[in-house]
A and B are shown apart, each in its own frame.
Chain A
């Protein structure tokens, strides 16, 4: 028996659990199971599902387009995760060091996170649009030809920047809480020792913040793989010449533009496994290197 009896009976606790359970099963576990099942079938509109065993996976294994999409996604995720963590950490540090107007700075950093992804993508489009963008003029003034509608690498950078920009707010919220938790006396000791600026951030704050940072790395990884769809869709539609065709957009096109549900399902299963393995590795690393303690 548990030491705390919160509910009068098992039925009561079961009833209270039911809504969550239902939502999870209907919208999470059932679709997952269905996707895994569909990945073994040749499935499309207007035709019955035909069992093809591993044929969809073989297709993926032999498709060079898919391979480049996979590599692109990993590169994209790495850029986004590193970018988000680095920029957020620096911004958090600046906000932490400011004496007055902290709240104002925080709000101005966090607001992009409050936007729905599609709105965020549209806002960013008008910030960086090759002809209409607010920032395009200043950037071109320093000699960069802003042309990401046609230039693949530029498009990749723009989508990554948009994804980073959108996610900074979320990271800063957690980071500022973690940084404020670092005992004041450590900051003061560092001050007396003449440990200033970025060295204090890197050598004192970051190690103590590791549990929060690892959590954010995991959340950001999931974000980079799954939640950046809107940016690709609205900014580049995967182009130019597949330069931004990351897995999540690729499988959406496979499923809902070409209606190859079987292959699309196989792609989503692969993506799911890829992120799952990454999570596992990250958790192992977290346990090993993270500092938990007072």
Chain B
């Protein structure tokens, strides 16, 4: 059983605040991904967990024990680094066994048994006698993983372990990591800047920005119900469109269009679908968030009763499986994911409609989410499996 608790964790480097008072609970056996842009404090958080950095303030607990000031070697965690951190002068086997031999806690037979086991799990038996020089990036990372798992640590800490690999290998290793985690069920904290990795690997994802946690949730919940504008724009590729509007009588009013916000004024005001205790007031300025895939070119027959929005196509990007249109709606730029092979040319004005269940409103000043047109409850009723894991 390994649970990790961070309480009001803070780390300052001179006058830079890298981690600004975060609270986080990591459950036993969980695969938790911390994602965020460069400099958001995600790696520092991981290094604080490992004990490679000392905390400025706050507390780290592992299994209820305060480990805030405990030496890295006594925390029983294993770390995997972006640059693999293999000892270049040692063979794969020596790299894996070096730490265990140094600690002196293991007999030679025990070490041999564990190396064989790890080599089988990771399929690296033929790499054991090679030096890192003679391994490819993916092989090195597998050996680095082997070094981490032989010690049977309480937690794996992974700092962008796939970032140095090429795209194809990254996808392959991603699947392997997922498989490894389901086999070992060791608590894992995984740091990445790549939101695809975060979404595919994480059982829960922590989105960080400026040293603070923006949201912690399961991947699909993050995507469907972003807690604020930052999460909405960071998760999802292409990013969510942000359109400045004014709220009037339960409608989002833009300079060129007006669309009703489902659930109507009353419910909007009574905040049934709003977030927390946020109130939406008539006349309030807000940001309307719609994902590119929730906008589509209007088809008069099926979308008859929905209002349409006129957009001017600036650039078309055929992506194969879809056609991404960079458009302008009035003075606001916006992306639309259209059906592939749609006949649209740049400069053309198209009529666009939207999925009314997938609208989001954010406060114009604070960026906090004010409203999601679909209620979180109804989603969980429809798809309980998504939320109850």
Contact = CB atoms under 8 A, between A and B. Distances in A.
Interface of A: 183, 185-186, 188-196, 199, 203-204, 207-208, 291, 293-294
Contacts of B147: 189
B88 interface: yes
B102 A195 contact: yes
Nearest to A207: B89
A188 B89 contact: no
Contacts of B103: 193-194
A183 B73 CA distance: 19
Chain A binding surface, main DSSP class: helix
Contact of B102 (A194, A207, A293, A294): A194
Nearest to A193: B99
Interface centre among A191, A193, A293, by most chain B C-beta atoms within 10 angstroms, is A193
Nearest to A189: B85
Given A183-B85, A293-B133, 14 more contacts: A183-B83, A185-B85, A186-B87, A188-B79, A188-B85, A189-B147, A191-B71, A192-B50, A192-B99, A193-B151, A194-B102, A194-B103, A204-B87, A293-B88
A192 B73 CA distance: 5
A191 B72 contact: yes
B98 A203 contact: yes
Contact of A196 (B51, B73, B83): B73
A193 B88 contact: no
A220 to B, nearest CB: 23
Contacts of B336: none
Contacts of A208: 88-89
B230 interface: no
30 contacts: A186-B85, A186-B87, A188-B52, A188-B72, A188-B79, A188-B81, A188-B85, A189-B79, A189-B81, A189-B85, A189-B147, A191-B52, A191-B71, A191-B72, A192-B50, A192-B52, A192-B72, A193-B99, A193-B100, A194-B74, A194-B99, A194-B102, A194-B103, A195-B99, A199-B102, A203-B102, A207-B87, A208-B88, A293-B133, A294-B88
A253 B74 CA distance: 62
6 closest residue pairs by CB, A with B: A193-B99, A194-B73, A185-B85, A207-B89, A195-B102, A194-B103
B78 interface: yes
A191 B53 CA distance: 12
A173 B103 CA distance: 32
A293 to B, nearest CB: 5
A189 B73 CA distance: 10
B87 A193 contact: no
B151 to A, nearest CB: 8
A126 B268 CA distance: 90
B73 A193 contact: yes
Given A193-B103, A207-B89, A294-B88, A185 B83 contact: yes
Contacts of A293: 88, 133
B77 interface: yes
A229 B250 CA distance: 95
Contact of A291 (B89, B102, B151): B89
Interface string B35-79: 000000000000000111000000000000000000111100111
A190 B89 CA distance: 14
B102 A193 contact: yes
Contacts of A192: 50-52, 72-73, 77-79, 99
A199 B87 CA distance: 14
A175 B72 CA distance: 27
A196 B73 CA distance: 9
Contacts of A189: 79, 81, 85, 87, 99, 147
